[in-house]
């Protein structure tokens, strides 16, 4: 089974060591030993470095510090969530800020959850597991959506091929008989003029045949036009 990849963005390297240690402690303190996870942790010392990392490596979860120089966590969060490639990657804000307005600002920036400093090992472990489950579900939905899209595209291509084949066959099979009917009617009209017969009645019948033949020709044309 592949390890879940967690990116930690924090300008203080010591905080990476703390999180790494706490995740191990949190896993060991879990009530069910089978729930223990082995994460692949990555560190970025700035917001820009974290964004650059996302460009090259797959990440399942981001632990993001808010108070950073140059580009703070709010801007990092906004930039990550604005890109469709990373929109599904959960971001957990790690912050010493604890007022409702500060937390609301984090959530409005696109953060999915937050952890207050000082970090509690069990809480960190629980939040990480929860976000990774959400990411796994998101990936499953994306995979299913892509499979459905591929199926729909395949069906559309198949339908278009069938339409093309049917249109081609109809053109060949129906065009000649219709042309033959109309030509035969014209020939009959010429022959009737030299015959001693009830020409008005016959001509009326020929007119009906001619009208219906033209209607059939028109319907065939419409059908072929819609298939193309």
Residue-number span of the structural domain to which 9 is assigned? 5-150
The DSSP letter of residue 166 is H
Number of Cβ within a 10 Å radius of residue 175: 14
Name the domain count of the chain: 2
Q: Judge if pTM exceeds 0.85.
A: no
pLDDT of residue 196: 57
Q: Helices 47-56 and 73-82 meet at what angle, rounded to 10?
A: 30
Q: Would you report the helix, strand and coil content of the chain in percent, each value rounded to 5?
A: 65, 10, 25
pLDDT of residue 150: 78
Q: Tell me, yes or no, whether 111 and 197 share the same domain.
A: no
CATH at 48: 3.40.50.2300
Q: Tell me, yes or no, whether 35 and 61 share the same domain.
A: yes
Q: Which parts of the chain register pLDDT below 50? A: 31-35
């Amino acid at each position: 089974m592949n390890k879940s990849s967690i990116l930690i963005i924090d300008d203080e390297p010591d905080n990476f060591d703390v999180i790494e240690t706490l995740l191990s402690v949190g896993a060991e303190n879990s009530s069910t030993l089978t729930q223990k996870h082995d994460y692949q942790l990555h560190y970025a010392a700035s917001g820009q470095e974290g964004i650059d990392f996302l460009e090259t490596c797959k990440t399942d979860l981001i632990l993001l510090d808010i108070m950073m120089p140059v580009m703070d966590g709010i801007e990092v969060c906004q930039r990550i969530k604005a890109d469709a490639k990373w929109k599904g990657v959960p971001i957990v804000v790690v912050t010493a800020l604890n007022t409702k307005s500060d937390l609301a600002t984090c959530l409005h920036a696109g953060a999915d959850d937050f952890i207050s400093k000082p970090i509690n090992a069990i809480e960190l472990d629980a939040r990480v597991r929860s976000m990774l489950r959400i990411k796994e579900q998101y990936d499953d939905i994306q995979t299913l959506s892509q499979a459905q899209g591929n199926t729909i595209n395949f069906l559309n291509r198949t339908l278009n091929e069938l339409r093309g084949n049917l249109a081609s066959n109809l053109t060949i099979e129906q065009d000649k008989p219709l042309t033959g009917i109309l030509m035969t009617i014209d020939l009959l009209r010429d022959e009737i003029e030299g015959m001693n017969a009830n020409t008005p009645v016959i001509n009326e019948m020929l007119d009906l045949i001619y009208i219906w033949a033209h209607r059939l020709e028109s319907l065939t044309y419409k059908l072929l036009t819609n298939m193309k």
